Chain A
Amino acid sequence: MKSLKAQNSFLVDAHRQIEIIEHGQIGEFALVPFQQKLEQSNLFPLKPSGIEIFQVNIGKMCNQTCRHCHVDASPDRKEIMTRKTMQECIEVLKNNSSLRTVDITGGAPEMNPNFGWFVEEIAKLNRKIIVRCNLTIILANKKYNDLPEFYKEHNIEVVSSLPFYSQDRTDRQRGSGVFEYSIKALQLLNNVGYGKEGTGRIVNLVYNPAGAFLPPSQQALEKEYKQALNQRFGIEFNNLFVITNMPINRYLDYLLSSGNYESYMEKLVNAYNPAAAINVMCRNTISVGWNGYLYDCDFNQMLELKVACNSNHISNFNTNDLNKREIIIGQHCYGCTAGSGSSCGGAVA
């Protein structure tokens, strides 16, 4: 499977994606505008509550090509963050102590040749570091085999996708063989203490629905995951984050090609939860793109919707300016406010 970009899909044009998300494929699909829902919840315009999480997408290159990927990441994607831009990120962190957490994502962030250097530099600044590791990268090549030790050494919190505790659903979404390698990788993480009680080493798993539906209860599913993974493979982990799929890039492509787009969007809108809207992650997170531009979240980043203020690049990062901005919203935002809500840290309500 190739990325949408390599296939020259019409969805490569972010403006076209936004048109579809807002009005459907032929422009006649209308649901309650997200803005209207926020107005009813007294949340419009949506404003930051204070940026604490600095999420950096260091590249779209990945060893996997998952069917639901909102990044359209793949081995054929070459966009990766340069060391110069990373250095600018480090400077921003040095000058802004309020940015307590650095959340490194991709693609497979480990495939960026400067990943190790970047993590080591951030670790010197005494910040909480999260790496979104797809698990299989640990076994993809010999040079990545020591990642569990590297994570441990730098006290990194690992967040890893495992769409289900069975092979069938996981491989359907993430590719053939992914489940088997993910299990092996989790066992390697467990071997160095990750997920084990009392070690302080955290590995959290992420569930994404493998289809056109919303996630079930996070609490109930976490219990099932823990039981199944422990009984079958002796695996331990800390928390399960349940994340709603976003109608962006490859998941949008799936929804359109399977005829599920309209019913999925209706599900999202009907499940709008004001309590989740209060806690949307864009209120305390800033998202940095591989080329240094700033976005309200990783989803707006993929839709190329830069933050609506002058400080829209890492080279002119200004916390005051960013904290005063209005967050850009659209119909895709329903993905974060449906049901118990969804964020990079799972449910929010």
Chain B
Amino acid sequence: MNEHYYNSKDLAKFGNVTEFQKELGEKFFSYYGEVFKDSELSAKEKSLIALAVAHSVQCPYCIEAYSSDAFEKGWSESQMMEAVHVACAIRGGASLVHGVQMMNKVKEIAM
């Protein structure tokens, strides 16, 4: 298979999801637009959160979109990388904290 499953040009087709389900798609995009507006958090702050979440959910489209958006909004490379580390720490921590479950179980059955 020569084609990549993820194609960056497909990001521009995101809006086309309304072709198969108009009402829900439109509601989503309307909501999405509202979420990213300046409000209690600035659009700039939201962009950095989105970048971290994008890495956490490992969405190539989101990573591409919010790498550009966060940099364009003025976050520096090191600030953006720190945000990725936050995502990494939470993901890694989420695995590691379950070590407690493992320990609980092992202690329960061990002599």
Contacts and interface: CB of A to CB of B under 8 A. Distances in A.
B71 A220 contact: no
Contacts of A221: 74
A220 B43 contact: yes
A216 B42 CA distance: 13
B12 to A, nearest CB: 9
A214 B72 CA distance: 7
Given A220-B38, A220-B43, A220-B44, A213 B72 contact: yes
Contact of B42 (A209, A211, A213, A220): A220
Contacts of A220: 38, 42-44
Interface in B53-81: 68, 71-74, 76
A166 interface: yes
Contacts of B43: 217, 220
Interface string A20-58: 000000000000000000000000000000000000000
A168 interface: yes
Contacts of B44: 216, 220, 224
Contacts of B74: 164, 216, 221, 224
**Number of contact residues on B: which range applies?**
10 to 19
Interface residues of A, number: 14
B38 A213 contact: no
Interface string A201-222: 0000000010101111100110
A238 B44 CA distance: 22
A212 to B, nearest CB: 9
Interface in A155-176: 164, 166, 168-169
Contacts, number: 24
Contacts of B38: 220
Contacts of A211: 71-72
Nearest to A267: B68
B37 to A, nearest CB: 11
B53 to A, nearest CB: 20
A218 to B, nearest CB: 13
A224 B72 CA distance: 14
Interface in B4-42: 38, 42
B73 A216 contact: yes
Given A220-B38, A220-B43, A220-B44, A168 B76 contact: yes
B4 to A, nearest CB: 18
Point out which of B42, B43, B44, B74 has the most chain A C-beta atoms below 10 A from its C-beta: B74
Interface in A286-326: none
A169 B79 CA distance: 13
A41 B34 CA distance: 28
Point out which of A209, A220, A221 has the most chain B C-beta atoms below 10 A from its C-beta: A220
A216 B76 contact: no
A341 to B, nearest CB: 17
B76 A213 contact: no
Given A211-B71, A213-B71, A166 B76 contact: yes
A171 to B, nearest CB: 13
B51 to A, nearest CB: 15
Nearest to B76: A168
Nearest to B47: A216
Nearest to B68: A213
A215 B69 CA distance: 10
Interface string A222-242: 001000000000000000000
B63 to A, nearest CB: 16
A169 B72 CA distance: 11
5 contacts: A166-B76, A168-B76, A213-B71, A216-B44, A216-B74
Interface of B: 38, 42-44, 68, 71-74, 76
Q: Which 8 A-B pairs have the closest CB atoms?
A: A213-B72, A216-B73, A216-B72, A168-B76, A213-B68, A220-B38, A224-B74, A220-B43
Given A211-B71, A216-B73, A221-B74, 7 more contacts: A164-B74, A169-B76, A213-B68, A213-B71, A213-B72, A215-B72, A220-B42
